[in-house]
Amino acid sequence: MSLDPVLDRIDADLPQAVERLKELLRIPSISTDPAYKADCDMAADWLVADLVAMGFAASKRPTPGHPMVVAHAAGDGPHVLFYGHYDVQPVDPLHLWNRDPFDPQVEDTPKGKVIRGRGTSDDKGQLMTFVEACRAWIAVHGSLPAKMTLFFEGEEESGSPSLVPFMQDNAKELTADIALICDTGLYGDSTPAIITQLRGLLGEEITITGPDKDLHSGMYGGLAMNPARVLARVIAALHDEDGRITVPGFYDGVPDLSNELAAAWDDLRFDEAAFLGDVGLSIPAGEKGRRPLEMIWSRPTCEVNGMWSGYTGDGFKTVLPSQAHAKISFRLVGTQDPLAIRAAFRKMVQDMIPADCSVTFAAHGASAAGQMTTTHPAFAQARRALSDEWPQAAAYVGSGGSIPIAAYFKQILDMDAMLIGFGKNDDQIHSPNEKYDLSSFHKGIRSWARILHAMTQTA
Amino acid sequence: MSLDPVLDRIDADLPQAVERLKELLRIPSISTDPAYKADCDMAADWLVADLVAMGFAASKRPTPGHPMVVAHAAGDGPHVLFYGHYDVQPVDPLHLWNRDPFDPQVEDTPKGKVIRGRGTSDDKGQLMTFVEACRAWIAVHGSLPAKMTLFFEGEEESGSPSLVPFMQDNAKELTADIALICDTGLYGDSTPAIITQLRGLLGEEITITGPDKDLHSGMYGGLAMNPARVLARVIAALHDEDGRITVPGFYDGVPDLSNELAAAWDDLRFDEAAFLGDVGLSIPAGEKGRRPLEMIWSRPTCEVNGMWSGYTGDGFKTVLPSQAHAKISFRLVGTQDPLAIRAAFRKMVQDMIPADCSVTFAAHGASAAGQMTTTHPAFAQARRALSDEWPQAAAYVGSGGSIPIAAYFKQILDMDAMLIGFGKNDDQIHSPNEKYDLSSFHKGIRSWARILHAMTQTA
């Protein structure tokens, strides 16, 4: 089956593809907030309907949380599984958005046209690049060039609690020759990238309790322990003066950067000044003596993702709070053991709590770092196909993010996984005013069409 | 004019007095939150109407913020000014209230009947003790035993921004022989107390900005500075290992406790275990080597009243926040200079901000500590009158709270002020489930009737 008419079809159909994406984006499928449960369900229904209309055998599959969508289509080539997620991040702080995050529109910007709205880049826009590539193949050739399984999750932004059990329960159905995952970005603005290493993620929520109720700071201040002070001491103690994380044993399993990888990454000529300048910063803040790309891709981190205590509204309230809270996450690399680090973190915090206070912990996910093997022929095929579509040759890169699905495909289904995506650093995913470049969407669809063709030709 | 029929009238009228108080309590006059501006106005109107009905020449007086209420009544005795405030604290966290904070009710508790609701103790219930004492005098004798000015503020819980200008602009009208202030508590459960020293209050809000937008902690974590970490380091640095505050020059003007005051306070046999035990604590957390009462009444403090950064909702969001915020207050004693401490605090914080971050400050009030002179004969008269009403003799005590109005009466109007109130430590003012004991309300009204009588008899 020839490629060119498929690419032509993609170009001609782009306006309709954008309208379809906007329909999906309008559904506020925020998975972490129980208030949006019905919307997550609706997003899954939308995908099932779209895939059935294209000829897939698609269904919504229940889990204890939000449903999975699984779709199959017959084909002669290799069996390819594609993964994406239809859930999105919360939108707060809402007042920083320049438009309704769930009323997406194409906007002209100095850097070109973008689609603005929550989930445009992470991950609905990326997910739809693959769906639209399939649509074009079917429209032109009446069928797909490969046997296909699509697998869409609705809990990626909330720790994927149902993912592993679902994969275990449906291992036979989900196993293919190779997995394709579209939830990552380009390197820079125009270099297509295949991710070969990912950081793991450990999430912890801590609640420190001092007095059993909020107190008047005039009546009790000076005598009663303030849990916000205790929390501040805990957070301040998590890094030393050199930016290293102080949790005992934290660096067990963190590999030094190999000379080979250091050289490959130096070749990428990472523009640290532009990367930080885009977000109003200029000074790398991580561990002293590390390369910037190394800090993001191959060093572990500890970040406060949220903290709160006492009165946070307008004006002033002289309360001595009963509780202080923090959401803290660790990005992990190499063979760092998430569960061992969780235990060491909890012990370290517990040891810092004064006798009169108490602390409780809640777990929010724990996944190890991932390292891809690139020996499967699909890696070289995809690299060539991407290089044909984009102005720069495709590169093997690392990622600071955490996409444990790649590791699960290997561990549970014994499949290699290729992480290829078309997001950009300035997409503001997880932030207000998220966007996806129209060129990312368009060339992303074309990229998948080329990759499917390349894998089929040589299969 | 005789006292006994007035006390009898107070006893007989108590149910009606409670109903009147409940009317006032139902108005959510939260002064710090602009959303409740109309309610503050309504509370002032309610007071004016009530006082006019009793025969006062009462009016609502505009300010740039919430209005003042000023009322006058002629009388033959000394000229007495009474101060209270009709505004209340915010009610969050609302889910910790056992009932609607603005639907007050009398409840039976193991310790006796209480009126439950926001403002019952701070300060509407206390304010109304004096109004009801006046009502009883007028009902029995047709007039008051003293020339009277009532002065009610609506901004006490939000830093009293209009108070000093209003007192300056209306000095002649407000000046009396002595000021009575009802916004404090009993000592313990049954010892009436006249406050002779008050802590000052300095409020600061700080906002630390790192990146100019919220970031994805996977994409930027390790390279971009997290302002929550910076804020934690600042807060952790405000106290040393011995609980002393580290702001340079902070202890300038902090007097040592005199032997005389130490002895008087030791006589009060402060039950530290019960005081802390009431709020689920057992270990004094302030400066090492200080008496518990000293920590509350005559040592300065620094407390975090609120802090927030990043994602604080349900679930988890791997955001690297753009900003971190804290509301911090200092209680001041002796001759500590609030403005000098504000400057030193801001410099200390500024010096801790990394080159890539910035900090802004907002001022929330600055008042020095107050020390009463007790030579005015009204002090001895009130002490005797209170001793007649309550099972224990009245005591001169300190207060950890900050009621700058007493100092303003002295500085601006050259009046001595007596701080007498009937709250209890377990009233949960500024907290969920605030209450005022029915006995505090009832005996409070009787106390003011006795005090007015005592001041008149000997004037």
Cα angle A265-A377-A71, degrees, rounded to a multiple of 5: 105
- Please count the other Cβ atoms lying within 10 Å of the Cβ belonging to residue B72: 18
Partners of residue B239 in chain A, C-beta under 8 Å: 229
Residue A70 pairs in a beta bridge with: A59, A151
Per-residue pLDDT tens digits for A102-134: 999 999 999 999 999 999 999 999 999 999 999
Axis-axis angle for helices B37-54, B4-25 (nearest 10): 150
Average pLDDT over residues B345-361: 97
- Here the ipTM equals 0.79
Q: Give the pLDDT band (50/70/90) at residue B188.
A: confident
| B384 touches A: beta carbon within 8 Å | no
The segment with the largest mean pLDDT, out of A55-59, A89-93, A404-408, B394-398, is A55-59
Is A331 close to B217, i.e. CB distance below 8 A? yes
Per-residue confidence (pLDDT) for residue B9, from 0 to 100 = 98
Closest chain B residue to A159, measured at CA = B316
| A244 touches B: beta carbon within 8 Å | no
Quick check: is A285 in a domain? no
CA distances from A439 to A259, A418, B71, B252 (A): 35, 21, 72, 64
Is A217 close to B301, i.e. CB distance below 8 A? yes
- What percent of chain A clears pLDDT 70, i.e. is strictly above it? 100
Are residues B249 and B205 located together in one domain of the fold? Answer: yes
- What percent of chain B clears pLDDT 70, i.e. is strictly above it? 100
Q: Give the pLDDT band (50/70/90) at residue B459.
A: very low
Q: In sequence order, which residues have a C-beta less than 8 Å from that of residue B124 and are 6 or more positions away? A: B21, B24, B25, B86, B88
Cα angle A16-A18-A24, degrees, rounded to a multiple of 5: 110
Q: How many whole angstroms separate alpha carbon B88 and alpha carbon B76?
A: 34
Structure tokens at B444: 């409070």
Q: Do the Cβ atoms of B88 and B162 come closer than 8 Å?
A: no
Q: How remote is the C-alpha of B405 from its chain's centroid? A: 10
Per-residue pLDDT tens digits for A311-346: 999 888 889 999 999 999 999 999 999 999 999 999
Quick check: is A284 in a domain? no
Instruction: Flag the least confident range among A229-233, A405-409, B148-152.
Output: A405-409
Query: What HEC string does A118-172 produce?
Result: CCCCCCHHHHHHHHHHHHHHHHHHCCCCCEEEEEEECCHHHCCCCHHHHHHHCHH
Cα atoms found within 13 Å of the Cα of residue A125, Cβ hemisphere only: 34
Q: Is the dihedral of CA A342, A346, A347, A349 positive or negative?
A: positive
Quick check: is A192 in a domain? yes
- Under DSSP, is residue A415 helix (H, G, I), strand (E, B) or coil? coil
Quick check: is B259 in a domain? no
Q: What is the CATH number of the domain that holds B247?
A: 3.30.70.360
Residue A459 has pLDDT above 50, yes or no: no
Closest chain A residue to B287, measured at CA = A222
Q: How many residues appear in chain A?
A: 459
Cα atoms found within 13 Å of the Cα of residue A373, Cβ hemisphere only: 10
Are residues A385 and A433 located together in one domain of the fold? Answer: yes
Partners of residue A273 in chain B, C-beta under 8 Å: none
Per-residue pLDDT tens digits for A275-290: 899 899 999 888 888 8
Per-residue pLDDT tens digits for A239-256: 999 999 999 999 999 999
φ and ψ at residue A271, rounded to 5 degrees = -95, 85
| A421 touches B: beta carbon within 8 Å | no
Mutation pick from B209, B307, B428 vs chain A, by most beta carbons of A within 10 Å, is B307
Per-residue pLDDT tens digits for A338-378: 999 999 999 999 999 999 999 999 999 898 898 888 889 99
Average pLDDT over residues B1-22: 97
Name the residue type at position A161. Answer: P
Q: Do the Cβ atoms of B341 and B212 come closer than 8 Å?
A: no
Is A283 close to B239, i.e. CB distance below 8 A? no
Residue B439 has pLDDT above 60, yes or no: yes
Phi/psi region, residue A175 (left: phi>0; alpha: psi -120 to 50; beta: rest), is beta
| Of residues A282, A275, A296, the one with CA closest to residue A189 | A275
| B94 touches A: beta carbon within 8 Å | no
CB nearest A219 (choices: B304, B356, B425): B425
Are residues B354 and B234 located together in one domain of the fold? Answer: yes
Residue A458 has pLDDT above 60, yes or no: no
Partners of residue A284 in chain B, C-beta under 8 Å: 223
Per-residue confidence (pLDDT) for residue A180, from 0 to 100 = 97
Are residues B396 and B433 located together in one domain of the fold? Answer: yes
Q: How many whole angstroms separate alpha carbon B419 and alpha carbon B412?
A: 17
Q: Do the Cβ atoms of B420 and B218 come closer than 8 Å?
A: no
- Please count the other Cβ atoms lying within 10 Å of the Cβ belonging to residue B100: 15
Q: Do the Cβ atoms of A117 and A25 come closer than 8 Å?
A: yes
Residues 45-84 of B with CB under 8 A from A: none
Residue B423 has pLDDT above 90, yes or no: yes
- Under DSSP, is residue A446 helix (H, G, I), strand (E, B) or coil? helix
| Of residues B312, B176, B373, the one with CA closest to residue A326 | B312
Is B310 close to A292, i.e. CB distance below 8 A? no
Average pLDDT over residues B162-183: 97
Strand ordering across the sheet containing A435-437: A105-109, A112-116, A435-437
| B273 touches A: beta carbon within 8 Å | no
Are residues B163 and B240 located together in one domain of the fold? Answer: no
Quick check: is A326 in a domain? yes
φ and ψ at residue A230, rounded to 5 degrees = -65, -45
Are residues B147 and B213 located together in one domain of the fold? Answer: no
Q: Do the Cβ atoms of A123 and A54 come closer than 8 Å?
A: no
| A219 touches B: beta carbon within 8 Å | yes
Closest chain A residue to B284, measured at CA = A223
Are residues B217 and B362 located together in one domain of the fold? Answer: yes
Q: How many whole angstroms separate alpha carbon A291 and alpha carbon A93?
A: 32
Mean predicted lDDT score pLDDT of chain B? 94
Q: What is the CATH number of the domain that holds B142?
A: 3.40.630.10
Are residues B232 and B318 located together in one domain of the fold? Answer: yes
Partners of residue A287 in chain B, C-beta under 8 Å: 222
Per-residue confidence (pLDDT) for residue B407, from 0 to 100 = 84
Which residue is associated with the tokens 């030579």? B375
How many residue pairs bridge chain A and chain B with CB atoms within 8 Å of each other? 355
| B314 touches A: beta carbon within 8 Å | yes
Instruction: Flag the least confident range among A151-155, A334-338, A451-455, B398-402.
Output: B398-402
Are residues A186 and A89 located together in one domain of the fold? Answer: yes
Per-residue confidence (pLDDT) for residue B27, from 0 to 100 = 98
Of the three residues A334, A367, A400, the one that is the final residue of a domain is A367
- Please count the other Cβ atoms lying within 10 Å of the Cβ belonging to residue B39: 21
CB nearest A232 (choices: B223, B236, B399): B236
Residue A152 has pLDDT above 70, yes or no: yes
Are residues A222 and A82 located together in one domain of the fold? Answer: no
Quick check: is B94 in a domain? yes
Of the three residues B367, B388, B423, the one that is the final residue of a domain is B367
Average pLDDT over residues B329-339: 95
Average pLDDT over residues B142-150: 96
Are residues A126 and A140 located together in one domain of the fold? Answer: yes
Average pLDDT over residues B436-454: 98
Is B304 close to A310, i.e. CB distance below 8 A? yes
Q: How many whole angstroms separate alpha carbon A284 and alpha carbon A23?
A: 40
Residue A89 pairs in a beta bridge with: none
- Under DSSP, is residue A313 helix (H, G, I), strand (E, B) or coil? coil
Name the residue type at position B134. Answer: C
CB nearest A212 (choices: B32, B236, B280): B280
Higher pLDDT, A346 or B275: A346
Quick check: is B283 in a domain? no
Structure tokens at A447: 């990229």
Of the three residues A348, A367, A386, the one that is the final residue of a domain is A367
Per-residue pLDDT tens digits for B90-110: 999 899 999 999 999 999 999
Structure tokens at B226: 């997290």
| B366 touches A: beta carbon within 8 Å | no
Is A296 close to B239, i.e. CB distance below 8 A? no
Per-residue confidence (pLDDT) for residue B178, from 0 to 100 = 95
Per-residue confidence (pLDDT) for residue A25, from 0 to 100 = 98
| A324 touches B: beta carbon within 8 Å | yes
Per-residue confidence (pLDDT) for residue A76, from 0 to 100 = 83
Partners of residue B365 in chain A, C-beta under 8 Å: 316
Are residues B351 and B450 located together in one domain of the fold? Answer: no
Partners of residue A295 in chain B, C-beta under 8 Å: 222-223
Quick check: is A289 in a domain? no
State the residue range of the domain holding A74.
Answer: 4-198+370-457
Count: domains in chain B: 2
Mean predicted lDDT score pLDDT of chain A? 94
Q: How many whole angstroms separate alpha carbon B113 and alpha carbon B436?
A: 9
Partners of residue B219 in chain A, C-beta under 8 Å: 296, 400-401, 425, 429
